[in-house]
Amino acid sequence: MKMKTMIRSSLIALVAIACLVPCTFAAPGGKQLTFGLVTKALDNPFWSLMKDGAEKVAEANGAKLIYLAPTKANNLEEQTRLVEDLIQRKVDGIVLVPVDSAGIVPVIERANKAGIPIALANTNANGGQVVTFSAIENYDAMTIVTEFVMSKLGGKGKVIILEGAPGAQTTTDRLRAMTDVIKKYPGITLLASQPADNQRAKGMQVMDNLLQTYTTVDAILCNNDEEALGAIEALDSAGRLGKTMVAGFDGNDDALNAISQGRMLVSMNQNPQKQAADALQALIDIIAGKSVPKRIVTQGILLTKDNVALYLPAAK
């Protein structure tokens, strides 16, 4: 009796497996190239834009793209595992956006050892061999954003910086740009500089607290749009949105809307689609035996009330 049920359940299991087999073998094997794209998190639309960009290039070249990102945002251990699994899958190349520029190096070296080419997009790594690094010049772009805010402030006022997730090269570069520009203006007071980990909820939480401490804040400089949008929420609920300028970075849809509504002052469109697309194209080119530049600079566009209409989601 018991044997019967066991046989029956294993039969059911076998049939279930057999049903799934055709769908896996239907995929054409042979020459189709498979690439991996690993970003920093699932909760920021910026990374989905990178995926869109990479997918277009993959499609145009008849290649397959596997998109993976840590479920725990900016988690190094999980990102390392994702890259390792792609190495095991022997993909033809990986476009990688490191969550931590130093901590990612060992897994890049493991990919090097396995002979799998890596192209970095958006955020650089401190070591390992990579085909190319495709990104905007974060320092230059953030300098432009900060200078814009300074000109609106007239070189005078009290400023708060929301830093990005600690340890990423983008955070370091953008923070350096913000502080370098501020130093040039003696009339500017830097009230506080705190990390908000590139997350909206964190940006709101950090700003909620800072607004309790500081009664006058003229501008908030943020490492990315998500933080900026969080800060805007905090300002709004404190009834102080009209008195404080907020600067973001990335050019996400929500940020574009905020700029057109006058809630956010400025952002930087860093063209994530192109960053990822260029990185993937570089991998395809190097496999085809073409030469590839070591650094691909993406052009950023300053987004303000004057030009935002061109980029609004409705206009696309």
Q: Which residues bind other proteins (CB under 8 A)?
A: 2, 5, 13, 17, 20-21, 24, 42, 64, 66-72, 74-77, 80-82, 84-90, 100, 102-107, 110, 126, 166-167, 195
Place of tokens 């040039």: 184
Distant-in-sequence, close-in-space partners of 242: CB < 8 Å, separation ≥ 6: none
CB of 258 to other proteins, least distance (A): 26
CB of 103 to other proteins, least distance (A): 4
Nearer Cβ to other proteins (20/314)? 20
Nearer Cβ to other proteins (89/305)? 89
Nearer Cβ to other proteins (91/266)? 91
Q: What backbone phi and psi angles, to 5 degrees, belong to 30?
A: 65, -120
Contact 296, 134 (CB under 8 A): yes
CB of 198 to other proteins, least distance (A): 12
CB of 42 to other proteins, least distance (A): 6
Nearer Cβ to other proteins (101/267)? 101
| Helical segments of the chain, H only | 2-25, 45-60, 76-88, 105-114, 138-153, 169-184, 200-213, 225-237, 253-260, 272-287
Q: How many helices (H) and strands (E) does the chain have?
A: 10, 12
CB of 21 to other proteins, least distance (A): 6
Residue 239 falls in which region: left (phi positive, over 0), alpha (psi -120 to 50) or beta:
left
CB of 179 to other proteins, least distance (A): 15
CA distances from 31 to 36, 59, 177 (A): 16, 14, 45
CA distances from 235 to 124, 201, 267 (A): 33, 13, 18
Nearer Cβ to other proteins (92/147)? 92
CA distance 264 to 210: 18
Nearer Cβ to other proteins (76/207)? 76
CB of 235 to other proteins, least distance (A): 23
CA distance 80 to 103: 9
Beta strands 267-269; 301-303: pairing state = antiparallel
CA distance 59 to 15: 34
CA distance 182 to 315: 35
Nearer Cβ to other proteins (27/315)? 27
Nearer Cβ to other proteins (78/147)? 78
CB of 10 to other proteins, least distance (A): 9
**CA neighbours within 13 Å on the CB side: how many for 307?**
9
